[in-house]
Each structure stands twice: as structure tokens, then as C-alpha cells.
Amino acid sequence: MWRRNSGAVPLHIPEQGRHIFKSLNENGLVELKSELERLSGLGSTWASSALGWLCICKSKDGTRDPGRAIELCRAPAAAGDPYAGYVLAWAFALANRGTEAVDMMKRAALAGFLPARLDLVTFVWNGRDPTSRNRRAAYDLLNHAQAHKAAMIWRCRLNRSGEFGWIRRLLGYFLMPVGFVRYAVAFWRNPFSCKVLLFQPWMTRPAVFDSLSGQS
């Protein structure tokens, strides 16, 4: 139950890490971050990535810590871990290191990490890398992210821009509610899946983590 009431922000925990929830209950969520810290210290790349993710999402007071995320994810990303690379890409973006952000997002996308494939569309569409800004290319890149549960939402957003004709624009408006329902159901079923992981700059951390923000 606590997973469904912890806020609207997804947190990816791969299957091999789901065991950490077995010792938690609705009154023991404070243990989660400390367990992630412990596993990260032991060399767990997914735990470091999850901690980095929490650092780049806003806390209640509006602050975030991309510097800590970079520290946590730089080594595993350099070793080829796509989850770490994805978090590192957004940490670079938030630190105004655009070229490094785009390069890292491309690496994570090429490694097959679905959230990176989805957000590479965002990077190209918004022109984070001016040399590769191409809205048609962004639309085509979305074909490689179809397994992500938010892909329909992204396609509707691009269609609603009007860049691809009035028929697709109408479809974008018509299908957007379907896309939101599809994503909401997937998130409700498994908020820890990489198929629902996505980053939006306005996102805040799940309420359960807010009390932990000063304990890093």
C-alpha cells in the first residue's frame, strides 16, 4: 500500500534490489534511504543510481543536489551502467553542463535503457544540443522508446505541436487522455519499473523521502 501512496514520482529499483522492501513496513520507510546508502557504499550501482535520482528530484523546499548525483553516478556510468548514465545525464543538465548531458543521455539510450530513450527525444526536441536539434529526428527517435509506458504521452505532445500536420494534431489531443491512463495504470502496478521512470524538472521527491533529505 505504501508504494501507491508515496507520491507521484517513480523510483526505479531493479528486480535484484526488490528484496530491500521485505524488511520495510508502513512505519519503517525511513530505513529505505539508509539501506540504499549502505548498498551504495558496498559498490551497488543501482543503489547509487537510485540515490542520485533522489538528489536530482526537488525536495519540498525546492532544492536539489545534482553535485551529489554526479558524485554517486560518475563511476558506474563510466563503467557502462545505463541507469547511472541516465541519472548522470540529468544531473549534468541541471548543472548547466549541456554537452556532457546530451552525450551521456545518448550513451544510456544506445545501451537500451528505456527512460534514456524517451528523454533523448526531449533533449533533441528542445535543442539541448544545438548541433543535433531536429524535430523530425526527435519524432523518429520516439519509435525506439515505444515500450516505455509514457511513450504515448510524448507522441501526443509532439503531435499537438502542429509540426506534423493537423490530423496528427487532432490525434494528439484525442489520445492524450488514453496515454495518461495507460501510464497511471502502469505506475500504480509497478512504480519501481524502468518502464515508468521519467524525469520532469517540476517533479518533487515522494513525500516519504522528504524527511530524509537532511540525513545524507
For the ranges 8-12, 14-18, 106-110, 143-147, the lowest mean pLDDT is seen at 8-12
Is the distance from CB of 105 to CB of 129 less than 8 angstroms? no
- Give the pLDDT confidence score for residue 71 in this predicted structure: 96
CA 151 to each of CA 34, 48, 163, 179, 190: distance values in angstroms, whole numbers, following the listed order: 33, 26, 18, 8, 17
pLDDT class of 189 with cuts at 50, 70, 90: confident
Band (207; pLDDT cuts 50, 70, 90): very low
At a CB cut-off of 8 Å and minimum separation 6, what does 26 contact?
Answer: 1, 2
Mean pLDDT across 105-123: 95
Given this model, what pLDDT does residue 19 score?
75
Q: What is the mean pLDDT of residues 177-188?
A: 94
Mean pLDDT for 91-104 is 93
Output the CA torsion sign for 80, 106, 216, 11: negative
The larger pLDDT score, comparing residue 81 to residue 138, is at 81
Is 43 exposed, middle or buried (CB count within 10 Å of its CB: 0-12, 13-18, 19+)?
Answer: exposed
Cell 526536441 belongs to 125
Q: Is the pLDDT score of 10 beyond 90?
A: no
Whole-number average pLDDT of the chain = 84
Q: Residue 150: its pLDDT value, please?
A: 96
User: Can you list the pairs that 153-157 forms with residues at least 24 positions away whose Cβ atoms lie under 8 Å?
Assistant: 153/179, 153/180, 153/183, 154/118, 154/121, 154/122, 155/179
pLDDT in tens, 124-153: 988 765 555 678 888 999 999 999 999 999
- What would the mean pLDDT of 5-29 be, rounded to a whole number? 65
Point out the least confidently predicted range of 4-8, 39-43, 143-147: 4-8
Task: Please report which confidence band the pLDDT of residue 33 belongs to, taking 50, 70 and 90 as the band edges.
Answer: confident
pLDDT given for residue 106 in this prediction: 95
pLDDT value for 149: 96
String of DSSP letters for the chain = -GGGGS-S------GGGGGGGTT--TT-THHHHHHHHHHHHTT-HHHHHHHHHHHHSB-TTS---HHHHHHHHHHHHHTT-HHHHHHHHHHHHHTT-HHHHHHHHHHHHHTT-HHHHHHHHHHHHHTSSGGG--HHHHHHHGGGGTTSTTHHHHHHHHHHTTTT-HHHHHHHHHHHHHHHHHHHHHHHH-TTSTTT----TT-B--HHHHTTGGG-
CATH 1.25.40 describes domain 2-215:
yes
Give pLDDT, residue 126. Answer: 83
pLDDT of residue 197: 93
R_g of the chain computed on alpha carbons: 17
Under the banding of pLDDT at 50, 70 and 90, the label for residue 25 is low
Q: Is 162 left (phi over 0), alpha (psi -120 to 50) or beta?
A: left
Domain coordinates in residue numbering, the chain: 2-215
| pLDDT at residue 186, rounded to an integer | 93
Q: pLDDT at position 112, please?
A: 94
Residue type, 12: H
